[in-house]
Amino acid sequence: MARETQHVRANGQDHPVIVWEPAHPPARATVVLLHGYMDAPGTFADVVPALLHAGLRVLAPHQRGFGEGPRVPAGAYYHFPDYVHDLAEIVDVLVPNEPFFLVGHSMGGTVATMYAGAFPERVTRLALLEGTGPIDNPPGVAPIRMRKWIEDVRALATKEKKPVRSPEDALRRLAQNHGQVPVEVLRQRLDDLLGVQPDGTFEWLFDPLHRTLSPSPFFVATYKEFAKRVVCPVLVVDGGPSGYQPPDEAERVASFADVRKESLPNAGHMLHWTEPAALARLLVEFFAP
């Protein structure tokens, strides 16, 4: 499976994008995969072969602050509109003047919904994988979050970084956060989540700013307005009881005009890690001509 990384200048920064081409070009369409929080695009690797076999070209950006994606300069931060702007410029370069299929997992699902609502003419199919957004926030939480964000960022500046002593140390810590995912799968994912420094030490491939609380509350009412503007067919896939579905997910899903809901009941939140073959079958069927 041939894989290369292209670099796109978008929204003022350099964005690495993993590109997989089908064995027999030209591709009949392009799929863009958006990873989630604390993830990286390479972890979609086990889903990609089925998409290529279906004649699709696959793009997976390193989103800002994760993997090899760009980091914001001192004094800046990461907000959902930044990710949408990044995506808008990346696809205008790599998929110009052509509708495409869009897939978002978790945080990537929120970015995908916002993009598809803002640019409905560009997206032919939208698939949300455990990706209908975080818990709704009441307006009154905004000043509380603002103060907590400032306190978190200040504390981060003086906080001693916890070293990653070895890949085994990283694997142990990853297993603590993903207890449902088999250890052998987590070991495979380390190549995309863990970096080696010039001095031989290891570090997680994300900006530590992501450990702070965002000052921007998530409002479901706003999310629904983006969803209402999506005109293409939508596939929503959850990972079953051990995954993450907000309590009002049915209302969010109902905001899309043309939507289908599927479940992988034993997959959990990281369904592209745990059940890539089953997920790939759903996507290939959804993207069929």
Share of the chain above pLDDT 90, in %: 93
**pLDDT digits 0-9 by tens, 3-49:** 999 999 999 999 999 999 999 989 999 999 999 999 999 999 999 99
What does the pLDDT read at residue 161?
A: 81
DSSP string of 113-162, one letter each residue: HHHHHHSGGGEEEEEEES-S-S----GGGHHHHHHHHHHHHHHHHHPPPP
What does the pLDDT read at residue 285?
A: 98
Q: What is the dihedral of CA 96, 276, 85, 122, to 10 degrees?
A: 40
What does the pLDDT read at residue 240?
A: 97
Q: How far is CA 123 from the centre of its chain?
A: 17
**pLDDT digits 0-9 by tens, 67-110:** 999 999 999 999 999 999 999 999 999 999 899 999 999 999 99
Cβ contact 43:35 at 8 Å: yes
Relative orientation angle of helices 167-177 and 183-193, to the nearest 10 degrees? 110
CA dihedral over 223, 239, 47, 195, signed as positive or negative: positive
Cβ contact 37:107 at 8 Å: yes
The pLDDT-based confidence of 200 (bands split at 50, 70, 90) is confident
pTM metric for this prediction: 0.97
- Evaluate if residue 1 carries a pLDDT over 80: no
Cβ contact 43:67 at 8 Å: no
For residue 163, what is the enclosing H or E element? none
**pLDDT digits 0-9 by tens, 217-251:** 999 999 999 999 999 999 999 999 999 999 999 99
For residue 76, what is the enclosing H or E element? none
Q: Which two tokens stand for residue 75?
A: 């004094």
Mean pLDDT confidence for 152-170: 91
Share of the chain above pLDDT 70, in %: 100
Average pLDDT, the chain: 96
Place of tokens 């959850």: 238
